[in-house]
Amino acid sequence: MLKYTDQLRRKIELHETPKRIISLVPSQTELLYDLGLNDEVVGITNFCIHPEEWYRTKTRIGGTKKIDFEKIKALNPDLIIGNKEENDQFQIEELMKDYNVWISDITTLKDALNMILSLGMVLGKHNEATNIKLQIESDFKHLNLPKTSSAFELSEIERHQQTVAYFIWNDPYMVVGNNTFINEMLKVCGLQNVFISDRYPEVNATQIISADPEVIFLSSEPFPFKEKHVLEFRKMCPKAKVLVVDGEMFSWYGSRLLKATTYFKQLIESLSS
């Protein structure tokens, strides 16, 4: 019997290394691909768009929060991989009655690295997961951050850091707050979030103007902000630099992090120009 603990500190017992896996989390689906689990992954969600070949060929079992239980039953998985934030609690608890379910819970870079290593152990890909983890760790350590910042020690905010508002939805306006992985990535970029409420608060135009961010990021997901929205925010905050940013780089906490630091470097350079 193989015994593991997920990031909710739940105990999971498996008779053998999983051979039929369903992923309910897009960023973790991409990680499974990069771990070399092509034959083992039998089901993904409608939002698991990377890699494209899996999106085209794997069975899709609904959305991250609207799971098709009959499709899951037909796939007969021996492990389902989910996430505390991205999946619906009631649906996950229903799945736990019939299947082995491993849940991640990620708000920091350390959480993400631990998830990669833990899944590597569960899935028989320890060496591959370790290599990915070490490369991500090295990339973030060598990201050109302000001298008193660190991707692993983010408690102090420098006075000269640019302030930022990161928008994830347009109508109503919703922004990223504290205790989120995106907020951690903003800190990695040397930026200070002007909205310190927990999680994903809804804000109005008055609050946005009052917060007076120096930088406004419009995320490409979950709301697909486009360049046409930039003008709207520039009118609201004429002094702010307004950019549409790649939401996957800020919110995907799997192997997408291998690409994130290159993107962040370019983004930081664009803000200083």
What distance in Å separates the CA atoms of residue 135 and residue 217, rounded to the nearest whole number?
27
Number of other residues whose CB lies within 10 A of the CB of residue 217? 28
Number of other residues whose CB lies within 10 A of the CB of residue 104? 26
Domains of the chain: 2-139 (3.40.50.1980), 162-272 (3.40.50.1980)
pLDDT score, position 63? 96
Question: What are the residue ranges of helices labelled H in the chain?
Answer: 26-34, 52-57, 69-75, 89-96, 109-122, 126-141, 181-188, 205-211, 227-236, 247-251, 257-272
pLDDT score, position 273? 73
Distances (CA, A) of 162 to 66, 125, 208, 216, 248: 38, 40, 16, 10, 22
Residues in the chain: 273
Low-confidence ranges of the chain (pLDDT < 70): 144-160
The three-class DSSP label of residue 202 is strand
pLDDT score, position 120? 98
Question: Residue 158 contacts by C-beta under 8 Å, 6 or more apart in sequence?
Answer: 146, 148, 149, 190
What distance in Å separates the CA atoms of residue 256 and residue 267, rounded to the nearest whole number?
16
pLDDT score, position 145? 53
With the CA atoms of 183, 184, 189 and 192 taken in that order, what torsion angle do they form, in degrees rounded to the nearest 10? 50
Instruction: Provide the whole-model pTM.
Output: 0.91
Residues 175/226, Cβ–Cβ less than 8 Å: no
